[in-house]
Amino acid sequence: MNLGPYRVPLVPPSPKPRLLGFLVLAGWPWLVAVSLLELFLLVEPTAVALVTGELVGRLAQGADRQDASWSGIGTMLALLGALLVTGNVLRSMSWPLAERVAGRIDAAVREELTSRVLALPTLDRVEDVAVQDELTTMRSPLLTWTDEGIGAAAVGRFRAGLTMAGLVTAMLVLSQVVWWWGPATAAVALLLGRYRASMWREFLRVVSGTMPAAMRGRVWAAMMSDHRDAKEVRIFGLTDWLQKHADENTADAARRVVDSRVALLRREMSVFLGWAATASVVYVAVATSGEVSVGQIAATIGAVSAMFVISMSSQGEDMDEVAMPAVDAVTRIRALAPDLEPPPRSDGAGEIALRDVVFGYGEVRVLNGVTLTLTPGEVIAVVGVNGAGKTTLAKLLTGQYRPRTGIVVTEPAAYAVYQDFNRYELSAYENIRIAAPEATREQVEAAAAAVDATKLIEKLAKGWETVLSPKYTDGGDLSGGQWQKIALARAALAAACGARLLVLDEPTANLDIEAELEAFDRIRQVRGQATVVLISHRFSTVRKADRIVVLSGGRITEDGTHDELLAAGGEYARMFRLQAQQFKESA
């Protein structure tokens, strides 16, 4: 079934993603600093060659005439010393500075994307597979073995662009002797540099190709030691099986990387030999040209080695290869069209209602014309088989999804406890306070007391301050039911702090029957003015609601009190009797 353009599609990149465009995120002072430093370092080898040539020339002249101009030689020596010292100092700063600039770019990209995702008003956009894919791709280069992201690629590309300045300077020195020597040697340098860059690209492609196997290996290996997986790994005797999979995947990835690295080393040797041959030809040509001074010979030797250093130093294109999918992903996330309409909000009269609401995930329609009006302050239960769309309905009621068609009027002051509520690695106190960060200590403690969670918290190693995770020393690991009490305490706190709509999506599934009934009674007491929507498969609790609706086939098919629905003899009555029968039989 085609549901039409339910989501605003991701717009293809326009204009084309441009790596260098990310540089501005580092800030202009940093860019100027990198530019000046890199330009100096690129020109410095040639400047050293020139000064050396001049120095050697003067020394030779002086030796001939037995009257060396010592002041000129002294100046040249001072200049050479200054160049070498400054060059070495700046060279040691080059890498840290580039890293800093790259880090600033990556941080700015992360910050921007986080705020873009947070700005998406409804959850369906965040849950969109395409958006999640883009976010994963965007983050992935930061996780690869190269540890390089968009920032490093942009800086690399920028530095590669600057190398041309270095090459031109060295070329001019070489051309002083015979004009075409400069361009000819620079052409060879460029070709060899490009060949080397293409070899590295090939290597990176192989490494990227091994990432899935390496990741799989890591996942298998992690399952053997993860405390959550440990119980099944042991009971099913999976250790050897997992180890085999982990080894196979890791070994395969490692072998491909090593083979590729060896091939790369061999090819790099050929580049170096090629350059050695080129340099030899130039040296022989200079030495045999006859009309060249000793100084020019020295300058030529320096310029040739400067060209080699410059052409080999550029890693820019290699980094492009790793980062381009991320650059592409960032461009597409930036192009995410803003939502056309804001999420549903209250009309101010406290009304909460859905009218002819249609909603689906992708092509699959889940709600197919739901109409439901909640009376302020009532406790309404929603029942239905697994997958009927109860949680989906809850997310529409809390404004987290927008209906495809139809109208949702809801209460902005809404709070929900879903089945898969978050278990924050925070203290017990913070785990409850998170529902209303402005709450006072008294309110948090009262909320815990309201759902009978105080005792369990006080028994923890550090009481309220115990981090609720076994990963920490003195951390606490709660049972499923105990965690649900924490989640219910959040709901109680939200109600105490002004929530007008509480959605409880199977919040008591892990509690025993007695605890569940008690929890439900307590929530009723502390909810204040809030309307409560309860989703549950337990009819012992459901029957206590003021009203019950049945969700079936994407619609509300039954609506009434427990007694009314039993008397109607529909699906509710059938489900209720089935559960009641099971209880009788097992009693």
Ligand X SMILES: Nc1ncnc2c1ncn2[C@@H]1O[C@H](COP(=O)(O)OP(=O)(O)OP(=O)(O)O)[C@@H](O)[C@H]1O
- Report the interface residues with ligand X, using CB under 6 A: 127, 361, 366, 384, 386-392
The distance of closest approach from Cβ of residue 449 to ligand X in the complex, given in angstroms and rounded to an integer, is 29
CA distances, 100 to each of 30, 111, 152, 322, 506 (Å)? 9, 16, 9, 19, 49
The distance of closest approach from Cβ of residue 501 to ligand X in the complex, given in angstroms and rounded to an integer, is 18
The distance of closest approach from Cβ of residue 479 to ligand X in the complex, given in angstroms and rounded to an integer, is 21
Give the closest residue to 40 by CA, choosing from 100, 93, 101: 93
Q: How many whole angstroms separate alpha carbon 577 and alpha carbon 560?
A: 17
**Token pair of 420, please?**
């898969």
3-state secondary structure of 66: coil
Is the separation of the CB atoms in 491 and 435 below 8 Å? yes
Gyration radius from the chain CA atoms:
35
Region class of 452: left (phi > 0), else alpha (psi between -120 and 50), else beta:
left
The distance of closest approach from Cβ of residue 391 to ligand X in the complex, given in angstroms and rounded to an integer, is 3
- Return the number of the residue (388 or 447) whose C-beta is nearest ligand X: 388
List beta partners, residue 409: 353
The distance of closest approach from Cβ of residue 397 to ligand X in the complex, given in angstroms and rounded to an integer, is 12
**Token pair of 575, please?**
């489900």
- Return the number of the residue (47 or 388) whose C-beta is nearest ligand X: 388
Q: How many whole angstroms separate alpha carbon 289 and alpha carbon 294?
A: 12
Is the separation of the CB atoms in 56 and 295 below 8 Å? yes
The distance of closest approach from Cβ of residue 384 to ligand X in the complex, given in angstroms and rounded to an integer, is 5
- Return the number of the residue (278 or 392) whose C-beta is nearest ligand X: 392
The distance of closest approach from Cβ of residue 502 to ligand X in the complex, given in angstroms and rounded to an integer, is 17
Q: What angle separates helix 227-235 from helix 239-288, to the nearest 10 degrees?
A: 120
The distance of closest approach from Cβ of residue 131 to ligand X in the complex, given in angstroms and rounded to an integer, is 12
The distance of closest approach from Cβ of residue 535 to ligand X in the complex, given in angstroms and rounded to an integer, is 7
- Return the number of the residue (257 or 358) whose C-beta is nearest ligand X: 358
- Return the number of the residue (307 or 357) whose C-beta is nearest ligand X: 357
φ, ψ of residue 99 to 5 degrees: the values are -60, -40
CA distance between the termini of the chain = 46
- Return the number of the residue (366 or 491) whose C-beta is nearest ligand X: 366
- The secondary structure of residue 360, as a DSSP letter, is E
The distance of closest approach from Cβ of residue 520 to ligand X in the complex, given in angstroms and rounded to an integer, is 18
Burial (Cβ within 10 Å: 0-12, 13-18, ≥19) of residue 65:
exposed
- Return the number of the residue (30 or 361) whose C-beta is nearest ligand X: 361
The distance of closest approach from Cβ of residue 392 to ligand X in the complex, given in angstroms and rounded to an integer, is 3
- Return the number of the residue (2 or 473) whose C-beta is nearest ligand X: 2
- Return the number of the residue (203 or 572) whose C-beta is nearest ligand X: 572
DSSP per residue, 88-142: HHHHHHHHHHHHHHHHHHHHHHHHHHHHHHHH--SHHHHH-HHHHHHHHHHHGGG
- Return the number of the residue (306 or 366) whose C-beta is nearest ligand X: 366
Give the torsion sign (CA, 285, 291, 296, 297). positive
Torsion of CA 68, 71, 72, 73, to 10 degrees: 70
The distance of closest approach from Cβ of residue 343 to ligand X in the complex, given in angstroms and rounded to an integer, is 16
Give the contacts of 401 (CB within 8 A, at least 6 positions apart): 122, 123, 124, 359, 392, 395
**Token pair of 438, please?**
């402005």
Q: How many whole angstroms separate alpha carbon 38 and alpha carbon 159?
A: 7
Cis peptide before 376 (omega within 30 of 0): no
The distance of closest approach from Cβ of residue 393 to ligand X in the complex, given in angstroms and rounded to an integer, is 7
- Return the number of the residue (175 or 510) whose C-beta is nearest ligand X: 510
Is the separation of the CB atoms in 203 and 261 below 8 Å? yes
Give the torsion sign (CA, 156, 160, 161, 163). positive
- Return the number of the residue (361 or 472) whose C-beta is nearest ligand X: 361
- Return the number of the residue (418 or 429) whose C-beta is nearest ligand X: 418
The distance of closest approach from Cβ of residue 419 to ligand X in the complex, given in angstroms and rounded to an integer, is 6
- Return the number of the residue (476 or 554) whose C-beta is nearest ligand X: 554
Give the closest residue to 53 by CA, choosing from 287, 297, 378: 297
Q: How many whole angstroms separate alpha carbon 381 and alpha carbon 532?
A: 8
